[in-house]
Amino acid sequence: MKFSYNWIREMVDGLDVAPHDLMQLITIKTAECEGVEEAGSHFAKVVAARVLEAEPIPGSHNRKARIDAGPLGERTLVCGASNCRAGLLTAYVPSGTGLEGTHIGKRVVSGIESDGMLASARELGINKDHETIVELDAVTPGESLPRLQPDHLIEVDNKSLTHRPDLWGHHGMAREVSAITGKPLRDPVDMTRIPQGPAPVKIAIEDFTLCPRYSALAFENVTVQASPLWFQHRLQILGLNPINNIVDVTNYVMAELAQPMHAFDAGKLAGDTIFVRNAREGETADALNGETYALTPAALVIADASGPIAIAGVIGGAHSAIGDSTTRLVLESANFHAACVRRTSSRLKLRTDASMRFEKSQDPVNTVRALARAVELLELVSPGIRLVGGLGDLAAPPKPAPVIELHMDWLIRKLGRDIEPAEVQRILEALHFTVEAPAAGVFIVTVPSWRATKDISIKDDLIEEIGRMIGYATITPVAPVTPTEAPADNPRRRFHRQLRQLVTAQGFDEVYNYSFLSEDDARRFSLDPAAHVTVANPISIDQALLRQTLIPGIWKNIQENSKHFDEFRLFEIGYEIHRRADALPEEVPHLAAAVYQKTKEAGPLYEAKRLAECILPGCELRPAGDAAVHEHPARTAGILWRGETVGRLFEFHPNFVEGRAVVVDLNLGRIEAMGSPEKRYQPVRRYPESAFDLSVIGQRRTLAGDVEKLIRGFAGPQLESIRFLRQYEGAPLADGAKSISFRLVVASRDHTLSNEEVTAVRDAIIDGMRREGFDMRV
Amino acid sequence: MLESQLQALAASAQQRIDAAASPDALEAVRVEVLGRKGALAEVSKGMGKLTPTDRVRIGKLLNSTKTTLESALDARLKSFADAALAARLDAEWLDVTLPAPGTRPGALHPLTRIQQELEDLFTSMGVAVLDGPEVESEYNNFDALNIPPDHPARDMQDTFWLSSGQCLRTHTSPVQVRGMAKLGPPLLMIAPGRVFRNEEVDASHEHTFYQLEGMMVDRNVSIAHMLYFMRTLLKHIFNREVTVRLRPGYFPFVEPGFELDIQCLICNGSGCPVCKQSGWVELLPCGLVHPNVLRMGGIDPDRWGGFAFGLGLTRLVMMRYGIDDIRWLQSGDLRFLRQF
C-alpha cells in the first residue's frame, strides 16, 4: 500500500516531519515501511506555456513550435504531438528537468535545436495518454500546473496492515501520524453533504451478516469526462489507473477513507430496487474486466430486477458500468462480510483493491461518510451534477462499541516498565479511544468504530497501542525469573545427533533432501502414487507427493554427485511420511546412507555394512529374496538387530546407477524404540586362552554367517571368540565348492584348558559340522 | 720381560681393534687375544715361573690389560651397532608429504550445525527442545494459533494443502500448541524444524526452509522479559553484544506482536547495502502470547502469560556462512556441503 505524503499532510495540520523521517516514525510506531520514493518531482519545474505558432517540419511528422513560457520567455522546440497548435495552453518541461528518470536537455531534432519539451500526460506521470500533449485551460504561462506538486510515496508492507482496515486509506494513516506527532487531524468529510429526503433507490438485503450495511445515493445531470489532471495524478501515483471522473471519484474516496465504492449507470439498471443476495446456482456475472464469472450460492451479489450487477465487494458488472453516455448514476457505498468477500475473491482468483480492503473487516460506519465525501468530489469533477432525493441506507442494528476495562497495574506488569495514568489516557485519546477513569488506576476504554471490527477487542490489544506510542525503546530489558530445572530431555534429538556424529566420523557427508516426491519418481521406484500423502496444490507436478522413503532423494544425490566425483559417501536423516486413515500421517525417522564408487569391481558393499555395524553393533545381514526394482537382486539384505528387522542394505540395480552405489536404510524410529541394551560388567578372564583354525567346505553360496552360527553352537560355552579368516575357491576343491576358514579362541573362566580339553572342543565342532553335511579340512 | 711382552701385546691388540672393519674382525681379535687359547692366556701361562711379588704385579697388569681390551672391544662393537642402526633408520626414510590413505570425517549439513549450536545454547538456558510433525492439522497450524478460517492472515503464509485437508506446516508455531499440551505451565521451550510455503523457488526464496520457534509461559511475563531473553539469545548467536529494537508487527498468535530488528552488524547502524541503508536488519518476529492461544492450549490467560518468537534458521545459516543462494542448502551437492 502506497501513501502520498502530500495527501497525508493535507489532513495533518502543520506536519513538519520530512518524508523519510515520517517513514521511520511509521515503521517504529505503526507498520513496516518498505521505502520512500519521489513522485512527480518534475512538477517543481514544469510550467504552463502557450503555443504561439506551430509549423510542420518538412519530411517529418514533427512540428516546430514557438511557445510563450511566461517569465521563462519564448522558447523554440520540436513537438511530435498532433494537437500541438497555435493558441494551445499546455505543459512545458524546461531543459534541465528530470522526467521519470530521463534528463530533458537541449538537443537537435529534425535539424532544429529543441529547448525542452511539451509533455504528454504519460510523460508527466498523470495517466497513460501518450497520443497528445496535455491541454490546459485557465492557466497563465510560466506558472506551475494547478495543484500538481512534487510528492513522495511511502510504501507500507501490506502484511503489516492485515489487522488494520482503517489504514487502507490515507485518512487512517493521517490519524496515526497525528497521534504520533501530536499535530491536529483534519477530517476531509463534511457530513452535511448528505441530502435529506426520501431515497429514490430501494435497497433489499437478504442477509445482514453478509452485508451489514448498504448505502447509496442517486445523481443526475452527470457529465462523464476526464478528471482534472491533479486528481488523476494522485490516483496514478498510487497505482489506481484514472478512468473517468466518476470512477476516479470512487477510487479517490477509497484511497482516502478506505471505503470501496461502486458507481452504476442508473439508466441501465432494471427496476428501482438494489438487491443484496447470494448468487443463485448457475448464475454468472459479466465483470468490468471483460471476464465472465460463474458464481455459486456462496458468493454475494448486487442485483437488479434482471440479475447480478456486481459481485459484492469484489468487482462491478460490465452492463451497468459508467460510460460516455451515462447521465444518471447510483453510487454504492456498502459494507460486506470479510470472510465472504475473501472466499469469493479466492475462489474466482480475483483480488481487487476493493476485495483486499473488505477482507480486512471494514467499518460499517464508514459507508455514509464516504458518500458525503463523494458528493463533494463529484461536484468538483462533474460540474452541474445534481443529487436526486435523499440517502438510501439499510443496515443491521449497529454493534455496540467494545468497552475494555484497563487496569494500570496489569498494564505495567505486561509492559515491564512504569507509566503514568495521564500518559496512558493521553495516548489512547490521541488514537481516538474514549477514556473514562471511574477509579484510580482503572480506565474504561471505548474503542472507535474503525478499530472495533476485528482489530481491538481485549485489553491485550491496548498494550500494543500504549507500547508503540511510548516507544518500545523505552522498555529496559529485565531478566525473567525462571525455575532452575533441567529441561525435559529429547531422546530422539539426542539419538539423531549421536548418529550424525558417528556417520560423519565414518566419512559420510550430510545432505538434506526435500519432503516431496514426483509421481514419476514414485513409479520409477515401483511405488503406487495413490498410496502416498498427496499435495492438493503443488507448485509443480514434481512435488505432488510426500516421500514415503528417502531412497529416491538419495538416488538423485548419487546421480548428481557422480558427475563430479569418482567416489563419495553421503547420508540423510529425514522423515518418511506414511498415510494413515483419519489421522495425521505417520512420520518415521530414517537414516539413509550411500557409498558410491565409479568402479565396476566388487564395490563398496562391505563398507556400507561396516557403517551399519558401527551404528548397530552385532547386527546381522540376511539376504533378501524380495529385491525391489531399484535393488540389485543378488546384493540386497535385511538388517537384523537384536532379533528385529530394522533396515535394509542394498546395492543399486545397474539400471539405476552406473558404477556401484550401496545404501543402508535404517528405521530410526524402530531402533530408538528398542532402546540401548543395558551394559553389565563381566569379570576379566584370568586364565590363558588357546586358539586353533578350522576350515569348512561349503557350496559357493553357503553363507559364512550360517556356518559361523553352527560352529558357535557346537563349540559350547568355552568359545571365547570366532573370527572369519578367509574363504577360498579352486583346486583342490571341487568346482562350486568353497572353503571358509575361521580362527577360534577357547578358554575357561576357572582354569587353564588342557590340550585334551581344547581338542575335545575342536572335535565336537568337527563332528557337529559333519553331521550338518559339511566337509572339514582338518 | 713379561711386562714388556704384555705392553706390546696390548698395543698391538688395541691397534687391531681400532683397525677392525667389521664385527667379525673384532670377534677374531677377541678370540686371538682374549680367548681361552688367546695371547693373554699364553702370557698367563708364564705366571707360574714368577716370584710371588712379580706374580701379584703381573697379575694385576694382566687383569687391567684384559679389562681395557674388553671395554675397547665393546666400545668398538657398539659403534658398529650404532652405525648399523643409524644406517637402517636412514634407509627407512619416508616421504611424509605423501597423502594419507583412508576416509576423512564427512561434513555435517550447515543447518545441522546451526541447529545443534542453538539447541546447546537453549538447553544451557534451561529450555526444552520439542519436535512437531511436518504434516499438521489445519487446527494446529492455524485455528489454535488464533488464525480462523478465512482470516486474511492466512494469506501471509502460502500453504501447501494436502488432499486429506491437512497441510504442510507453514511455520514451527504449531509446536507451541503441542508444547502447551505436553509441558503445561510454566514452560520454556524451543522447536526447530522444517517448514513449507507454497512459493516459487529462487535465490532467496524456498518452499522448504527451517525455523526455530521459542515460547515461554510463566506468571507475569512482560515485554521487558522478552527483550532480555532475546538480547541474551542474540548475543550468543552472533557472539557479540547486539543492539535490538522492537517495532509493531502483526501476527495473530501474539498480542502485542513485534518485529525485532538488530542493529546492522556490518555497518553498526550507520547504513550500508546489507541493511538497505536503514541501519537495522529485520531478524525475528516475536510478541506476548495471545490470550486466545493460551486458552486453546488449555492455559488460563488470567493466571499465566508468555512470550513467543520465531527465528529463521535458514536465514541465519545464510548470514553466518555468507551463502548467497538458498537453493544450495537442499541441493545435495557435495561441492557445496563439503565446505562445512
Q: Average per-residue pLDDT in chain B?
A: 91
Residue-level pLDDT at A230: 97
Tell me how far apart the alpha carbons of residues A169 and A240 are, in angstroms, rounded to a whole number.
Answer: 13
Q: How far is B321 from chain A (nearest CA, A)?
A: 17
Q: How far is B182 from chain A (nearest CA, A)?
A: 11
Of A36, A46, A35, A23, whose CA–CA distance to A230 is shortest? Answer: A46
Tell me how far apart the alpha carbons of residues A153 and A233 are, in angstroms, rounded to a whole number.
Answer: 12
> Exposed, middle or buried by CB within 10 Å (0-12, 13-18, 19+), for A588?
middle
A703 near A623, Cβ under 8 Å?
A: yes
Q: What is the pLDDT of residues A459-468, one digit of tens each?
A: 999 999 999 9
Tell me how far apart the alpha carbons of residues A565 and B338 are, in angstroms, rounded to a whole number.
Answer: 12
Q: What is the pLDDT of residues A525-548, one digit of tens each?
A: 999 999 999 999 998 888 999 999
User: Mean pLDDT, to the nearest integer, of A312-324?
Assistant: 96
B63's CB contacts (< 8 A; 6+ apart) are: none
* β-pair partners for A404: A445
Confidence of residue A50 (pLDDT cuts 50, 70, 90): very high
**Cell numbers linked to A153:** 510515496
User: Interior CA angle at A717 toward A712 and A720, to 5°?
Assistant: 70
**Cell numbers linked to B88:** 637402517
* β-pair partners for A274: A203
Chain A residues inside the 8 Å CB shell of B123: 487
Q: Do A32 and B131 touch (CB under 8 A)?
A: no
Of A331, A334, A276, A332, whose CA–CA distance to A300 is shortest? Answer: A276
Ramachandran area for residue A107 (φ above 0: left; ψ -120 to 50: alpha; else beta): beta
Confidence of residue A778 (pLDDT cuts 50, 70, 90): low
Q: What is the pLDDT of residues A131-165, one digit of tens each?
A: 999 999 989 999 999 999 999 999 999 999 999 99
Q: Do B224 and A538 touch (CB under 8 A)?
A: no
A344 near A299, Cβ under 8 Å?
A: yes
Pick among B334, B335, B338, B340 to test the A interface (most A CBs inside 10 A): B334
Of A727, A753, A724, whose CA–CA distance to A739 is shortest? Answer: A727
Report in angstroms the alpha-carbon separations of A775 from A123, A703, A707, A737, A759: 100, 15, 12, 10, 18
Sign of dihedral through CA atoms B281, B284, B285, B287? negative
Sign of dihedral through CA atoms A117, A121, A123, A125? positive
Quote the percentage of chain B above a pLDDT of 90. Answer: 63
Q: Average per-residue pLDDT in chain A?
A: 95
Lowest mean pLDDT among A27-31, A702-706, B152-156: B152-156
Rg of chain A taking only CA atoms, in angstroms: 42
User: Mean pLDDT, to the nearest integer, of A210-228?
Assistant: 97
Q: How far is A389 from chain B (nearest CA, A)?
A: 38
Q: How far is B88 from chain A (nearest CA, A)?
A: 34
Q: Do B134 and A464 touch (CB under 8 A)?
A: no
User: Mean pLDDT, to the nearest integer, of B32-37?
Assistant: 87
Chain B residues inside the 8 Å CB shell of A594: none
Tell me how far apart the alpha carbons of residues A645 and A643 are, in angstroms, rounded to a whole number.
Answer: 7
Q: How far is A11 from chain B (nearest CA, A)?
A: 24
Residue-level pLDDT at A663: 98
In B68-112, at which residue ranges do the beta strands (DSSP E only) sit? none
A232 near A248, Cβ under 8 Å?
A: yes
Quote the percentage of chain A above a pLDDT of 90. Answer: 92
Residue A409, classed as helix, strand or coil, is helix
Residue-level pLDDT at B153: 78
Nearest to A468 among B218, B248, B276 (CB): B248
Pick among A344, A414, A668 to test the B interface (most B CBs inside 10 A): A414
Residue A216 confidence (pLDDT) above 80: yes
Report in angstroms the alpha-carbon separations of A454 from A210, A337, A668, A777, B252: 15, 12, 47, 89, 11
Q: Which backbone phi and psi does B259 adopt, to 5 degrees? A: -105, 130
Residue A86 confidence (pLDDT) above 80: yes
Q: What is the pLDDT of residues A590-646, one digit of tens each?
A: 999 999 999 878 889 999 999 999 999 999 999 998 999 999 999 999 999 999 999
Tell me how far apart the alpha carbons of residues A67 and A141 are, in angstroms, rounded to a whole number.
Answer: 9
Nearest to B248 among A343, A414, A464 (CB): A464
Pairing of strands A509-510, A567-578: parallel
Of A261, A242, A181, A237, whose CA–CA distance to A2 is shortest? Answer: A237
The ipTM, to two decimals, is 0.88
Q: Do A467 and B252 touch (CB under 8 A)?
A: no
Chain A residues inside the 8 Å CB shell of B159: 537
> Concatenated DSSP letters for B6-68?
HHHHHHHHHHHHHH--SHHHHHHHIIIIISTTSHHHHHHHGGGGS-HHHHHHHHHHHHHHHHH
Q: Do A497 and B149 touch (CB under 8 A)?
A: no
Q: How far is B245 from chain A (nearest CA, A)?
A: 6
A257 near A248, Cβ under 8 Å?
A: no
Tell me how far apart the alpha carbons of residues A731 and A768 are, in angstroms, rounded to a whole number.
Answer: 25
Q: Greatest CA span in chain B, whole angstroms?
A: 133
Q: Which residue of B has its CA nearest to A359?
A: B152
Q: What is the pLDDT of residues A648-701, one digit of tens each?
A: 999 999 999 999 999 999 999 999 999 888 889 988 888 999 999 999 999 999
For cell 532423494, the residue is A553
Pick among B113, B127, B134, B251 to test the A interface (most A CBs inside 10 A): B134
User: Mean pLDDT, to the nearest integer, of B34-62?
Assistant: 84
